[in-house]
Structure 1
Amino acid sequence: MELDFKQIATVTMVLFAVIDVVGSIPVIVDLRSRLGHIQSEKATIVAAIIMIAFLFVGEGMLKLIGIDANSFAVAGAFVLFFMALEMILGIRLYKDDNPSTASIVPIAFPLIAGAGTMTTILSLRSAYDKINIIIAILINVIIVYGVLKSSGKIEKWLGVNGIGIIRKIFGVILLAIAVKLFAANVKGLFV
């Protein structure tokens, strides 16, 4: 394991696109207006713990159920592909239930550390050093905390169109990452 700033930057961007905290601002603002207060600190800490724990125990869980890393990475590429389509086309393929509290559920899980994030973390593990992934997770958690604390100001500053543009840009980046992840791991399925 060695620090690689290029890996950290890449993984940070991938996780930033998958977590899509900027695109979640409308959801966060809606939760704040309906439920009053969002526990930003609690949600952020729990999300970080979930992501880092999944980085270490996720592969063991896969082995336990008999799935190899290449298969999981290809499945992760499909999840990222569909998430990118949601971001680019502005459609919802996956719908969440209406939340009743705004801290661990739905902010920490599934909004920040959801299925797409978990799949991405395990998929990234096959290509990047764990220490670089942990640093990227922590960078993203800091960004998430900042966004949660200032979601009202960010929404006013960006406006609906600005948030939409950012979602589409990160959607295209995520789509390219999904294609790259698929291409890198699909060969391993047939060996």
Structure 2
Amino acid sequence: MKKLLLLSLFLFASAFADEAKVKTLVIVSHPYFEHSTFIKGLEQAARSVQGVEVRNLEQIYGYDTRAIDGNLERKITREHQRIVFLFPTHWFNITPMMKAYLNETWGSVGPGLWQGKQMLVVSTAGGGRSTYGKNGRVGVELKDVFLPMKASALHCGMEYLEPLVFEGVNSSQLESYKQALIQRLKN
């Protein structure tokens, strides 16, 4: 009986091992998704976590930056406590569809709409230490390239979480990147 109880507790705990503590929305964008390795892998990892809804902008709207349904996206965003933006670093910035998403979904609503929600930026970059960091060509850490996202979060009354960035990405590290994302989504 004791073994059965322990097994039941283990199975119960395992069932919730990959579940987000807060209802999370992951907005994914990649301008060349068909050629993506890392964003595809990270999106797959995000989809594996219970309590996480994933919306891939290019899969939903194609590449038409004017096709984004701001009303629908605001409705979906309201249903979540944490908003995650997942994208490759695109010329030291977010992708064109991500920018269009923010313009259409967040641009005209003013501060306070997302009051109390969390924002997490997750990004990949091919450049490594020779590009990012105090001694890199751009002279700033990759996570600091996204200061406008932090400003957007603070403007909206959100808590800006420490970004999860992967620089100098290497396909041999994809599984560890996926596990790092899963851990962040679960917390």
TM value normalised by structure 2:
0.23
* Structure ID, larger Rg: 2
Which structure: greater helix fraction?
1
